[in-house]
Amino acid sequence: MTRHRYQTPTADTPCPCGRGIQLADCCGRFLEGGLASTPEELMRSRYTAFVLGDTDYLLRTWHPSARPASLELDPGTGWTGLEILQATGGRFLQTEGTVEFRAHYVEGGRADVMHEHSRFVREGGAWLYLDAAGDR
């Protein structure tokens, strides 16, 4: 298991997703098996999984039609912040939603940003990451 390969959270670790609350009360509950109730919650928890190096969670929350067979994260990438720009869909009876975000990171000593418009679908009550429309 690759969980927490990059950081070992403690009881008072702030959640990397930027909400300003403790990991256990925020995205940690999803990484431990809880279901995100919106595409934005899933996006935030997937960002947190990238920060923590939790490839099991990333693969588990990827739609089977687009999920890679395996996933290796670059330990040289340091994720430094998440900005949610817009979230659409994902209400109670909806089965599709999108989240536009910027994920800030440092790689090779150079700061950069990934801008993505992600699509999510709900199947069997669980939100899953489908794909990205890419940079805009």
Pick the CATH number of 23-132 from 3.40.120.10, 3.10.450.50, 3.40.718.10, 3.40.50.2300: 3.10.450.50
Enumerate the domain spans of the chain.
23-132
pTM of the full structure = 0.90
Residues 3-13: tens digit of each pLDDT: 334 467 776 88
Residues 15-50: tens digit of each pLDDT: 999 999 999 999 999 999 999 999 999 999 999 999
**β-strands 126-132, 77-89 pairing:** unpaired
Residues 67-91: tens digit of each pLDDT: 999 999 998 899 999 999 999 998 8
